[in-house]
DNA sequence: TGCAACTGCGTACGTCGTACGTAGATTCGG
DNA sequence: CCGAATCTACGTACGACGTACGCAGTTGCA
C-alpha cells in the first residue's frame, strides 16, 4: 500500500464532499449520524501524522473513532476519497500571510518554504499525489494565494500557471526524496554511517575508480560534504536557488547578487 | 499498493543480488534452478510495461513464468527487492551515446530527455522511488555517464552532484505528474473534456471569480491553452528551460539567446 | 551407492479494502 | 398519534495481497 489515486467512484460525489455540499436538504429520516465528515478527516490526519499513511487503515481509523470499520463508509465513499479530503483540509488550513514585499522572488521563496513546511509537518504528504488532486476549496484557495506571488512580475497568464506548477513540483520532489531517505533509514534499522560501513567493502570492490572515475570522485566529495548519499536540506536550498534563478531569466532579469553562493571550485582528487 | 520501498530484509543481500554476486561457489547440490534472476526480472518488467506496477503481483509473475508463487522467493528475497532489480536493470540498459557537443547545456538537455524517454517507455517507473535506490551496477553506470555531462562546466564536485540531482528530480517530478494524470483519466473513464463538462457547473458555482480572481483568470487561460488542467508536455518543456537557465546562472553565464521562448504577455480579462 | 545438502513448491496465515444484507432508529403522512 | 417509509450503522464475508514455514524430492560428493 502507501498509495492513493482518487475517487474510483463517482467524481461528482467527491466534489460535493470536498465542498461539503452533501445534501441534508432531503427527508433526513433515520438515526442522526454520530460523527461528521470533518471529525473523520481530522482524526485521519492525526493518525497519519502519528504513524504514517499506511497506518490509516479503515479499521484503524474506525477503531480510533469508536465505530465499526464499515461505519466509515457512511461518511466517506472510500479510502481514496478520504485521502483527498485530508489533503484539501490541510491546504485549507495553510496560513496565508499578506505579502509584505514587492519582490516577486521573495514572495515565491516564501511560498516554497510554506509548502516545504507543510511536507515537514505532515510527512505522509510525500506519499500522496499532490499534483492532481480533485479541485476542493482548500486547493483553490491555495492556488489563488500562491498565484498572487507571481502577479505583477510580467508573466503571461499561462506562464504564471506554469511557473507556479514548476516551483511546487520542485518542492514536492524534494519532500519525496527526503521521505524516501527517512523510510530507508527506518527500514534498514541503521544509521547512514553504519550502513556505509557495512557495505563499503562490497561497493568498493564493485565500483572501481578506474571504470567510474567521475562517479567515485564526485560521489565521494558529495558524500563527505553531506555525511550521507543525499542531503535533503542541501538539495532544497541548492535547488530553490536554481529554480528562482531560472524564473528570473524568464522575466529578463539578471539573478540577484549572489548571496549564499559557494564559489565553484574543483576538488582535487 | 503501487508502492515500493526497498529491501526490508538484509540490504547486503540486495546488493549482492544487484551485482549478481550470488555465490555459486559452494556445493551446488540439489536441483538446478530452472530460471535465472535475469529471466525473472525481465519478465517482471514486461508485465509492468503491459499492465502497470500493480499488476506485478508475486502470483501473477510466477504464473507468467510457469512456476508456483513461492518459487519466486528462490530467486528474489521479496517484492521490494524485485523492483530494485527491475529499476537497476533498466538503468543498465540505457543508451550511453558519446557526447558530441562541448556545450554542457546541450549535454544536460540530452540527459533530461533520455530520462524522460525512460519514464515514457516504462510508465510504472513513476510509481517507484527512483531517488534512493540501492547502488547497483546500472545506477552507478548511469551516475557516471550523466555526471560527465557536467564535467568541465566549472562546477565543484559537490555542486556537480547537486546539479544532477536537481535535473533528475525535475524529470521525475514531471513524469509522476504525467502518470497521475493518465491514471486519473483511466479511472474516471472519461476524457478531460467530458469530466470538465460534467463538473463545470458545480465548480463554477463554488469558485466564483470575485473570491478567486487570480485563480479563475489564470486557471481559465491555462486550461484553454492546454486543453486540460495540466499539460505534461508543456510543463516539461517549460520547466526544463528554467532548470537549465537556473544552472546557467550558477555558472555565471547568461542564459542563451531565447530560442523558443514565448513572449511574456498579459492576457486581458 | 548411500547420504547429506539444498532446491522448488504447496499450504496457510494475517493483512488489507470494501460489497452486501440486515436491524433498528427516526421522521413523515394520515 | 400511529403506521409506514426511509435512512443509518454495522456485522459478516469475500477476494485480493505478500510471504512464513515445512516438506519432499533431486542432486553432487564420499
Q: Are B187 and B139 in a shared domain?
A: yes
Q: Which nucleotide is nearest to B9 (CA to C1')?
A: D19
Within a domain: B1: no
Closest-CA residue of A relative to B236 is A166
pLDDT of residue A49: 97
Q: Say whether A12 and B212 touch across the interface (CB within 8 A).
A: no
Within a domain: A17: yes
From B256, B260, B259, B261, select the one nearest B103 (Cα to Cα): B256
Within a domain: A40: yes
SS3 B52: coil
Task: Kindly state the cell numbers that stand for A195.
Answer: 550502513
pLDDT of residue A185: 77
* A24 in contact with nucleic chain D (CB within 7 A): no
Q: Are B202 and B69 in a shared domain?
A: no
- Find where cell 540498459 sits: B93
Within a domain: B241: yes
Using one digit for the tens of pLDDT, what is the confidence trace for A24-41? 544 466 667 778 899 999
Q: What is the CATH number of the domain that holds B156?
A: 1.10.357.10
Closest-CA residue of B relative to A177 is B131
Mutation for testing the B interface, residue in A166, A209, A213 having most B CBs under 10 Å: A166
* A22 in contact with nucleic chain D (CB within 7 A): no
Determine the Cα–Cα distance for residues B221 and B215; give it in Å rounded to an integer.
10
Determine the Cα–Cα distance for residues B189 and B94; give it in Å rounded to an integer.
34
Within a domain: A161: no
Task: Kindly state the cell numbers that stand for B52.
Answer: 502497470
The H or E element containing residue B172 is helix B157-188
| Nearest CB to A154; choose among B221, B238, B264 | B264
CB contacts < 8 A, A to B, total 275
Which bases on strand D have an atom closer than 7 Å to a protein beta carbon? 5-13, 16-22, 25-29
End-to-end CA distance of chain A: 44
Q: DSSP characters for chain A?
A: -------SS-HHHHHHHHTT-----S---SSPPSS-HHHHHHHHHHHHHHH-GGG--HHHHHHHHTS-GGGGGGT-S-HHHHHHHHHHHHHHHS--PPP--S-HHHHHHHHHHHHHHHHHHSGGGGGS--SS----HHHHHHHHHHHHTTTTSS--HHHHHHHHHHHHHHHHHHHHHHHHHHHHHHHHTS-HHHHHHHHHHHHHHHS-TTTSHHHHHHHHHHHHHHTSS--HHHHHHHHHHHHHHHHHHHTTPPPPSPSSPPPP-PPP-
pLDDT < 50: residue spans in chain A? 1-3, 5-8, 25-27, 259-269
Within a domain: B256: no
Within a domain: A132: no
Footprint of strand C on the protein (CB under 7 A): A 1, 8, 27-32, 56-60, 69-70, 73, 78-80; B 26-35, 67-71, 73-75
Answer yes or no: are the C-beta atoms of A242 and A249 closer than 8 Å.
Answer: no
Domain count, chain A: 1
Q: Are B27 and B72 in a shared domain?
A: yes
Q: What is the CATH number of the domain that holds A32?
A: 1.10.10.60
pLDDT < 70: residue spans in chain B? 1-10, 21-31, 132-133, 187-199, 201-202, 205-207, 253-269
Q: Are B30 and B58 in a shared domain?
A: yes
CA distances from A99 to A156, A245, B238 (A): 21, 20, 26
Q: Are B134 and B174 in a shared domain?
A: yes
Determine the Cα–Cα distance for residues A247 and A160; give it in Å rounded to an integer.
10
Task: Kindly state the cell numbers that stand for B95.
Answer: 543508451
Residue B84 domain boundaries: 11-91
Q: Are B106 and B223 in a shared domain?
A: yes
- Kindly list the residues from chain A whose CB atom is less than 8 angstroms away from the CB atom of residue B8: 187
Determine the Cα–Cα distance for residues A128 and A176; give it in Å rounded to an integer.
9
Q: Are B112 and B68 in a shared domain?
A: no
pLDDT of residue A102: 83
Q: Are B65 and B171 in a shared domain?
A: no
Q: Which residue is nearest to nucleotide D20 (CA to C1')?
A: B70
Amino acid at each position: 500500500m502507501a498509495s492513493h489515486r482518487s475517487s474510483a467512484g463517482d467524481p461528482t460525489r467527491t466534489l460535493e464532499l470536498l465542498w461539503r455540499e452533501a445534501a441534508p436538504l432531503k427527508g433526513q429520516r433515520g438515526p442522526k449520524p454520530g460523527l461528521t465528515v470533518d471529525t473523520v478527516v481530522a482524526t485521519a490526519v492525526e493518525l497519519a501524522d502519528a504513524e504514517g499513511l499506511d497506518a490509516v487503515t479503515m479499521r484503524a481509523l474506525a477503531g480510533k473513532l469508536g465505530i465499526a470499520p464499515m461505519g466509515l463508509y457512511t461518511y466517506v465513499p472510500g479510502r481514496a476519497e478520504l485521502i483527498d479530503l485530508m489533503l484539501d483540509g490541510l491546504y485549507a488550513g495553510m496560513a496565508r500571510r499578506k505579502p509584505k514585499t514587492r519582490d516577486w522572488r521573495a514572495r515565491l521563496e516564501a511560498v516554497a518554504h510554506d509548502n516545504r513546511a507543510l511536507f515537514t509537518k505532515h510527512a505522509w504528504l510525500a506519499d500522496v499525489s499532490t499534483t492532481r488532486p480533485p479541485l476542493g476549496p482548500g486547493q483553490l484557495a491555495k492556488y489563488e494565494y500562491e498565484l498572487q506571488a507571481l502577479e505583477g512580475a510580467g508573466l503571461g497568464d499561462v506562464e504564471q500557471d506554469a511557473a507556479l506548477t514548476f516551483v511546487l513540483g520542485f518542492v514536492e520532489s524534494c519532500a519525496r526524496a527526503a521521505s524516501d531517505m527517512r523510510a530507508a533509514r527506518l527500514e534498514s534499522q541503521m544509521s547512514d554511517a553504519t550502513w556505509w560501513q557495512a557495505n563499503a567493502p562490497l561497493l568498493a570492490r564493485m565500483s572501481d575508480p578506474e571504470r567510474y572515475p567521475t562517479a567515485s570522485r564526485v560521489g565521494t566529495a558529495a558524500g563527505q560534504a553531506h555525511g550521507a548519499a543525499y542531503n535533503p536540506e542541501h538539495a532544497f536550498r541548492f535547488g530553490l536557488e536554481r529554480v528562482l534563478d531560472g524564473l528570473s531569466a524568464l522575466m529578463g532579469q539578471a539573478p540577484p547578487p549572489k548571496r549564499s553562493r559557494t564559489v565553484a571550485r574543483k576538488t582535487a582528487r
